[in-house]
């Protein structure tokens, strides 16, 4: 029982560790995210979802960037309609930005806090699993609507 419990969403801790431990990766992701949202706020889309571009069907993350812009603009109902998981990605983004720009001592504590929190709660694993179910249901709904 305890072994099964220990390994539930074990991948989410590993994911956070692999993501936050690489400062260069966090720096590149932060820079690209800022560039992407700056361009998007000016009406220029720098990156398009490969699935949506080639098939017309939405992937799990489709609508997320518009939802994040709506959230940052305080348009909560619009955010909810576009992608209800936008607040989670703002949180994940702030974790990555923190890991990219904090000084070494503070960064180690910052990363350790999030990894310890995940080890106790498995909140990222749970949210990402629910998000995948949400994406699959949305895709199924779209498929049924087109038939």
Partner 1 sequence: MATLMGILIAIAGIVSLVCWIMILIKIFNESIGLGILGIICGLFAFVYGWVKVKEYNCKNVMMAWTAAFIVTIVANALGGAAVVRSVIGMAEESGGITEVEWSTETE
- Applying CB under 8 A, the residues found at the interface with partner 1 are 11-12, 14-16, 18-19, 22, 24-25, 28-29, 32-33, 36, 44-51, 53-55, 59-61, 64, 124-125, 128, 131-132, 135
CB of 9 to partner 1, least distance (A): 9
CB of 20 to partner 1, least distance (A): 12
For partner 1, give the closer residue by CB, 75 or 122: 122
CB of 4 to partner 1, least distance (A): 17
Q: How many CB atoms lie within 10 A of CB 103?
A: 8
> In residues, how long is the chain?
147
For partner 1, give the closer residue by CB, 62 or 70: 62
For partner 1, give the closer residue by CB, 2 or 53: 53
CB of 51 to partner 1, least distance (A): 6
For partner 1, give the closer residue by CB, 50 or 105: 50
Q: How many CB atoms lie within 10 A of CB 10?
A: 12
Q: How many CB atoms lie within 10 A of CB 124?
A: 21
Q: How far apart (Å, rounded) are the C-alpha atoms in residues 54 and 134?
A: 21
Q: For residues 86, 91, 94 and 99, what is the CA-based torsion angle, rounded to 10 degrees?
A: -130
Dihedral sign (CA 53, 59, 63, 64) = negative
């Amino acid at each position: 029982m305890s072994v099964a419990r220990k390994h539930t969403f074990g991948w989410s801790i590993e994911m956070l560790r692999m993501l936050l431990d690489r400062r260069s990766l966090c720096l590149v992701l932060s820079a690209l995210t800022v560039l992407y949202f700056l361009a998007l706020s000016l009406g220029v889309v720098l990156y398009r979802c490969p699935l949506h571009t080639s098939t017309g069907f939405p992937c799990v993350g489709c609508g997320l960037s518009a939802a994040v812009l709506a959230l940052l603009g305080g348009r909560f109902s619009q955010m909810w309609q576009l992608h209800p998981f936008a607040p989670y990605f703002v949180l994940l983004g702030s974790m990555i930005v923190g890991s990219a720009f904090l000084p070494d001592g503070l960064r180690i504590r910052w990363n350790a806090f999030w990894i310890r929190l995940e080890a106790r709660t498995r909140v990222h694993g749970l949210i990402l699993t629910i998000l995948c179910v949400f994406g699959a249901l949305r895709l199924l709904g779209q498929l049924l609507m087109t038939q």
